[in-house]
Amino acid sequence: MPFKILSVDDNIYNPTDTISALPALLDKEGYEVAVTADGNAAYDLVFEVKPDVIVLDDGLQYWQLHRDLDIVVLSARRPFGSGFVLPMGDLREPISGLRRAGLVLLTGAASIPEDRLASVRAAVSRLAPGVPVFAANHEPVSIRNVETGVEQDVTWMADRKVFAFCGIGQPESFLNSLHSLRPSLVGNTTFPDHYRLSDADITAIIDGANVCGAEAIVTTEKDCARLGGRHIPHLYTLVIELKIEDNLRFAQYIANRINP
């Protein structure tokens, strides 16, 4: 059921802030979004509209709230990160915490050989016995002109001179998606995950594209949301969908868990 934004904490929500990319995207899609540093306050806020389902992003370690189902998303290529917990590594808790998962989703499954994927599935199942494991892939579905909002088929990219930029956790996944569409990628620049683009960064992107003779500048929808309305000429976003294997069984499993 789609909603509009209900309320946010002004002190942490700003369209150009790093924290705001996901809420901005969900807002654009018409969903109810509560942005707050206090998860309990967010729940109180959302319950005012009596939703059928509440989705808490990045909430596996948020012990204060009851949940009906924990969906853990892992990269098939690097499911357990460095293997070390912060500050030595990049994990928030030991991998043994995966036993609390109710469902595991392996993204980027097509990027690794089938035997490697089978090994990852087996490793996850050892850590979370009896928990269903699904594979998924992010697939480009269209190209959206940011200025006009018009979407075109991905074949529009073929042989077109493109300059790309992004600031996400795995920039190679975005660039690989672009390469699969066979453009003439004349240049690209990447930024750290959750990076807030400055006006100087935007100028450098535009100048870089001009120097390369790019016909289009392409970025992710998440990075576009962080622009906060700042203009980049000839800007397009690569619209990507998550394709889940056996998606009907996936959806039915979730429905059964939240509506026993």
| First-to-final CA distance of the chain | 20
Query: In this structure, are 112 and 158 located in the same domain?
Result: no
Can you give the residue range of the structural domain that contains 33?
1-66
Query: In this structure, are 149 and 234 located in the same domain?
Result: yes
Q: What pLDDT digit, counting tens, does each position of 197-208 carry?
A: 899 999 999 999
> Predicted confidence band at 19 (pLDDT cuts at 50, 70, 90)?
very low
pTM: 0.80
Q: What pLDDT digit, counting tens, does each position of 125-179 carry?
A: 999 999 999 999 999 999 999 999 999 999 999 999 999 999 998 899 899 999 9
Least confident interval from 11-25, 56-70, 168-182, 191-205: 11-25
**Is the CB of residue 218 less than 8 Å from the CB of residue 237?**
yes
Q: Where are the alpha helices (DSSP H) in the chain?
A: 21-28, 39-47, 114-127, 171-180, 199-212, 221-225, 247-258
Q: Is residue 253 part of a domain?
A: no
Query: In this structure, are 167 and 95 located in the same domain?
Result: no
Distance CA 16, CA 34 (A): 17
What was the pLDDT predicted at 229? 82
Report the number of distinct structural domains present in the chain.
3
Query: In this structure, are 1 and 58 located in the same domain?
Result: yes
CATH number at residue 154: 3.40.50
Q: Which residue matches tokens 């200025």?
A: 147
